[in-house]
């Protein structure tokens, strides 16, 4: 067998395949590869209320290249635990990976995707004070109130869903929006369901 030449094209004459390989090493045809749809997911995690936990969780997401849309954390009725509410927009495998990785976190007691959650976000919006009556009317229309006002700037406080806040900010643009601060989403499961 030594020295015999194999049948077929020389390496320089062969076609170079395109596309990437999947986890099993099988080449995927780019023309037939499915495009995964992203969706918004609210993940609630009950974690130890101690220093470093937030850094560990955000680092975990960064290492896996998962983008956090919103992250809020605060104490619960048990002073030793905190609730993290994490909003991600990823495809289904990305969301499942995020939940699996959170469950592996040493400081995590419970991790759950909360579907149909009651969601709220707090925002402070600084608007030009040229038309105080108009600003007040828009604030009241969205269930907000002016918390500070002078001749130049009116600061409005709003609480609502992410979509409500987005709509209110667009409505305030007619007066001139100077600054916006948003807390991110806080969420609990509706009714008698346990969040985590």
Task: Measure the CA–CA gap between 153 and 66, rounded to whole angstroms.
Answer: 37
What is the tens place of the pLDDT at every residue in 105-121? Answer: 878 899 999 988 899 99
In CATH terms, the fold of domain 38-113 is Alpha-Beta Plaits (3.30.70)
Q: In the structure, what pLDDT confidence band is assigned to residue 7 with cuts at 50, 70 and 90?
A: confident
Domain ranges of the chain: 38-113, 118-188
Q: Do domains 38-113 and 118-188 have the same CATH topology?
A: yes
| pLDDT (tens digit per residue) in 155-192 | 999 999 999 999 999 999 999 999 999 998 999 888 88
CA gap 156, 147 in Å, rounded: 6
What is the rounded distance in angstroms from the CA atom of residue 139 to the CA atom of residue 154? 11
Rounded to two decimals, the pTM is: 0.72
| Superfamily of chain region 118-188 | ACT-like. Chain A, domain 2 (3.30.70.1150)
Helices (H), 10-131: 53-63, 92-104
């Amino acid at each position: 067998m030594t020295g015999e030449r194999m049948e077929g094209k020389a390496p320089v004459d062969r076609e170079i395949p395109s596309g990437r390989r999947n986890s099993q090493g099988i080449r995927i045809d780019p023309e037939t590869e499915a495009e995964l749809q992203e969706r918004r997911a609210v993940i609630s995690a009950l974690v130890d209320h101690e220093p470093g936990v937030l850094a560990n969780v955000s680092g975990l997401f960064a290492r896996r290249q998962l983008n956090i849309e919103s992250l809020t954390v605060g104490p619960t009725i048990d002073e030793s635990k905190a609730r993290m509410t994490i909003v991600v927009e990823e495809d289904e495998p990305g969301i499942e990976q995020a939940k699996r990785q959170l469950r592996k976190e040493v400081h995590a007691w419970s991790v759950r995707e909360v579907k149909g959650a009651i969601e709220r976000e707090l925002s402070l919006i600084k608007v030009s004070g040229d038309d105080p009556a108009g600003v007040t009317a828009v604030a009241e229309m969205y269930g907000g109130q002016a918390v500070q006002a002078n001749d130049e700037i009116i600061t409005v406080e709003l609480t609502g869903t992410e979509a409500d806040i987005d709509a209110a900010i667009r409505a305030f643009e007619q007066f001139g929006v100077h600054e916006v601060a948003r807390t991110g989403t806080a969420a609990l499961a509706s009714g008698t369901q346990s969040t985590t």
